[in-house]
A and B are shown apart, each in its own frame.
Chain A
Amino acid sequence: MTARVPPRLPLASQRLLVVTGKGGVGKTTVAAALARAVADAGRRVLAVEVGRGPLGTLLGATRLGVEPTRIAPGLSAATIEPEQALADFVEGVLRFRVLARRLLESTSFQVLAAAAPGLGEFLVLQRVLGWIEARRLGRPVHDLVVVDAPASGHSLPLLAAPRTLGALARIGPIAELLGKLERLLADPGATLVCVVTTPEELAVRETVELHREIVRGLGLAVAPPIVNALPPRHLTAADAESVDRLEAAVGDHPYVRAARFQLERRRQADVQIAVLRKAVGAAPIRLPFLFATPEEPAGVATLAQALAGAAGLAA
């Protein structure tokens, strides 16, 4: 397991980066920051979200479409609507629009589609593959596709879809597509999975489990985990003693309260980072807690800069 986690984020040649993590840890914000950082380093990046989420807003764009929209030089974004993807797929198979629509509208087909193992996930991956393979004038339209994947529990079915579905479909065009997807995901030179967490017990525990599943269960290449929202270390251990003395002398004071709080938060965070580091066998990439604008384009820009330094992305 140790050997598989690179010390930094090798995104100079990768084609696909899948970002996942526990709900509420800032997964989408970090995915946006990663896309921006790689674009700033000179690669052409497509950021993709599954379903309607805040990715577009975070990148400073208005509503995202199902086709890539250019947001900044080297940076585009798109959304994948699972229902739309299903409709496109069925139309492609049936070739009769009217029949396809009738089929899609029927409850029974929806039940069927929900029951088909990995069908929804497959449709998402199939679209991503289309964007990765898109070429213009002999070179790829997008150098890197960053996918803001569903939260932890739901990202595993996504990553496992080619295998799950592959067990059912052994021949025909779908089987070919599945084979291609499986090769793309399993190629450590092309695909990296990145788990985002916060330095808190529950999130770290889930991250460790998810890492294990991705590496051991699915055999995919992982990036070092990204610890988001790390409290600052303005104050040192020596300061803690000074704060004790101050409190003894002057009593309760808002500065003392704030200092105690921040010291304790950072201490807890350091404990969790140590736990994570030991479990995955790599030092996590750290991103600061943003006190002011965490869920706005300005915050994404700050995190992108931090990533450029920490992850070795600078051009």
Chain B
Amino acid sequence: MTRLAQALDSRRIILCVGSGGVGKTTTAAALAVEAARRGRRTAVLTVDPSHRLKDALGLGSLSSKPRRVPLASIGARGAHLDALLLDVKRTFDELVLALAGSPEQARAVLENRLYQNLSGTLAGTAEYMAVEQVYRLAEEGGYDLLVVDTPPARHAVDFLDAPRRLARLLDSRAFAILKDPTSILPAAGSRLAHMILAAVLRGLERFTGIGLVREVGDFVRVIEDLTGALRARVAAVGALLRSAGTAPLLVTAPEPRLVTETETLARALAEMGLTIDGIVVNRALPLGTFGRTAPDPGPPAGASPALAARLARSWADLRALAARQEATLAPLVASAGAPVVAEVPLLPTDPGSLADLVEIGRHLFPESAPAATPARGLRG
């Protein structure tokens, strides 16, 4: 069994990470369909599916509530697959309401003028809410496997790192300092320090015209009572992401821009204790047909000279693309520090049906390939 098939059969969470525009969402959907076919009770959480992919999953509208994907059309009647939207835009509000000791306390936080702004920018709270959604599903959803599509690279890091950063913020001196800005100064507490800083802050406020310092302090004071409950929850979510049951899978494509992006992503993931389990390379041209060493077959017999010239040009274009891919892939794999577990050929369009997803699954799991329907991509 391949490494990818093993992950699909034994892990509890597969995290698809990678840059924007590499086909992460499609890969996540194809993995989930295959897992369900293999008999695991599966849910796929996607971030921003195309209309075609939603159609492929048989879901006109997708929401943050699980919806059952009808798999009968691909002959997997008993298989269980749910799909839902990972809502990264959801705010802190829900968490505040859940953790607040009283409705008055919740209102004091929610009505603070800076709260809206802070809850959006501070320590990636929106990302944290999305991770929290994964946690709740893993704990209470009754699934064997969650396949999670993450936001594009830079945000994937914010997303996965959200529990740790939020915990660090809660533990940092920042909260305390914000209530008492004079503790910035070394001799905190001294009357002189107080006077100097108060003068500086007043000057800053007068110059900027913003009563910011005081307002942030107010905000911190009202939210402080919630931090104990929040801290415990954040730790549990972080532990789940780093546990052995979670397999981070890098989805990428052989494009030059992705080499440095992948390097940055792999480093950031390592820093937060996540090791990439394997790499899925999308949009790979078959080198047997278009690679450097593949011979030019010459135009097919029967083509007019004019058509033959146009066909040759179109073939040469793909050959140039294949050369670029060949040069890119090695440094890309090296920077990710994980093995390539599957290659999926460049497809002319997004998948538009479950059969298309099953077809992609065949490339992801060649060993379990059932009877083939005509391939849509560029066969090798």
Which residues of A are interface residues toward B (Cβ below 8 A)?
Answer: 22-25, 54, 93-94, 99, 102-103, 106-112, 114-117, 151, 168-175, 198, 200-203, 205, 232, 234-235, 239, 242-243, 245-246, 249-250, 253-259, 261-262, 264-265, 268, 291-292, 294-295
Q: Which residue of B lies closest to A202 (CB)?
A: B50
Question: How far, in Å, is B120 (CB) from chain A's closest CB?
Answer: 9
Q: Which residue of B lies closest to A90 (CB)?
A: B204
- With A111-B178, A172-B208 known to touch, is A246 a contact of B257 (CB < 8 Å)? no
The 8 Å CB contact of A255, one of B118, B185, B312, is B312
The 8 Å CB contact of A268, one of B173, B294, B348, is B348
Check if B300 sits within 8 Å of A264, measured CB to CB.
Answer: no
Contacts of B153 in A (CB 8 A): 23
Complex Cα distance A246/B297, Å? 15
The 8 Å CB contact of B20, one of A23, A172, A201, A246, is A23
Complex Cα distance A228/B311, Å? 23
Complex Cα distance A106/B314, Å? 58
Contacts of B174 in A (CB 8 A): 107-108, 110-111
Check if A115 sits within 8 Å of B122, measured CB to CB.
Answer: yes
Check if B184 sits within 8 Å of A261, measured CB to CB.
Answer: no
Q: Which residue of A lies closest to B49 (CB)?
A: A202
Contacts of B94 in A (CB 8 A): none
The 8 Å CB contact of B324, one of A111, A114, A262, A291, is A291
Contacts of B50 in A (CB 8 A): 201-202, 205
User: Beta-carbon contacts of B172-193 to A below 8 Å, as 1s and 0s?
Assistant: 1110011001001100000000
The 8 Å CB contact of B209, one of A102, A168, A255, is A168
Check if B207 sits within 8 Å of A172, measured CB to CB.
Answer: yes
Question: How far, in Å, is B281 (CB) from chain A's closest CB?
Answer: 16
Check if B208 sits within 8 Å of A169, measured CB to CB.
Answer: yes
Question: How far, in Å, is B217 (CB) from chain A's closest CB?
Answer: 10
Which one of A203, A243, A257, A261 has the greatest number of beta carbons of chain B within 10 Å? A261
Interface of B is mostly: helix
Question: How far, in Å, is B316 (CB) from chain A's closest CB?
Answer: 8
Q: Which one of B134-142, B272-280, B301-309 is at the interface?
A: B301-309
Check if A246 sits within 8 Å of B209, measured CB to CB.
Answer: no
Check if A106 sits within 8 Å of B256, measured CB to CB.
Answer: no
Complex Cα distance A253/B299, Å? 9
Check if A255 sits within 8 Å of B311, measured CB to CB.
Answer: yes
Check if A250 sits within 8 Å of B302, measured CB to CB.
Answer: yes
Complex Cα distance A107/B50, Å? 40
Q: Which residue of B lies closest to A251 (CB)?
A: B300
Check if B303 sits within 8 Å of A242, measured CB to CB.
Answer: yes
Q: Which residue of B lies closest to A102 (CB)?
A: B184
Question: How far, in Å, is B47 (CB) from chain A's closest CB?
Answer: 11
Check if B208 sits within 8 Å of A201, measured CB to CB.
Answer: no
Complex Cα distance A39/B252, Å? 35
Complex Cα distance A295/B22, Å? 16
Check if B348 sits within 8 Å of A111, measured CB to CB.
Answer: no
Q: Which residue of A lies closest to B307 (CB)?
A: A242
Pairs A–B under 8 Å by Cβ, sample size 16: A23-B19, A93-B203, A94-B200, A108-B174, A112-B178, A168-B210, A171-B209, A173-B207, A200-B350, A201-B350, A202-B48, A242-B307, A254-B315, A255-B300, A258-B314, A258-B318
The 8 Å CB contact of A249, one of B172, B302, B321, is B302
Cβ of B226 under 8 Å from chain A:
no
Cβ of B202 under 8 Å from chain A:
no
Contacts of B304 in A (CB 8 A): 242
Contacts of B181 in A (CB 8 A): 108
Check if B300 sits within 8 Å of A256, measured CB to CB.
Answer: yes
User: Beta-carbon contacts of B250-292 to A below 8 Å, as 1s and 0s?
Assistant: 0000001100100000000000000000000000000001100
Cβ of B6 under 8 Å from chain A:
no
- With A257-B379, A268-B349, A291-B320 known to touch, is A25 a contact of B21 (CB < 8 Å)? yes
The 8 Å CB contact of B204, one of A93, A171, A292, is A93
The 8 Å CB contact of A108, one of B118, B184, B200, is B184
Cβ of B342 under 8 Å from chain A:
no
Complex Cα distance A151/B212, Å? 28
Q: Which residue of A lies closest to B196 (CB)?
A: A99
The 8 Å CB contact of A254, one of B169, B178, B290, is B290
Question: How far, in Å, is B181 (CB) from chain A's closest CB?
Answer: 7
Extra inter-chain contacts (10) besides given A94-B203, A246-B302, CB under 8 Å: A25-B21, A111-B216, A112-B178, A114-B121, A168-B209, A169-B210, A174-B210, A242-B307, A258-B318, A258-B378
Check if A172 sits within 8 Å of B209, measured CB to CB.
Answer: yes
Check if A107 sits within 8 Å of B173, measured CB to CB.
Answer: yes
Question: Which 7 A-B pairs have CB atoms at the shortest separation, nearest pair first?
Answer: A24-B21, A264-B348, A169-B209, A108-B177, A23-B20, A291-B320, A24-B20
Check if B184 sits within 8 Å of A106, measured CB to CB.
Answer: yes
Check if A255 sits within 8 Å of B297, measured CB to CB.
Answer: yes
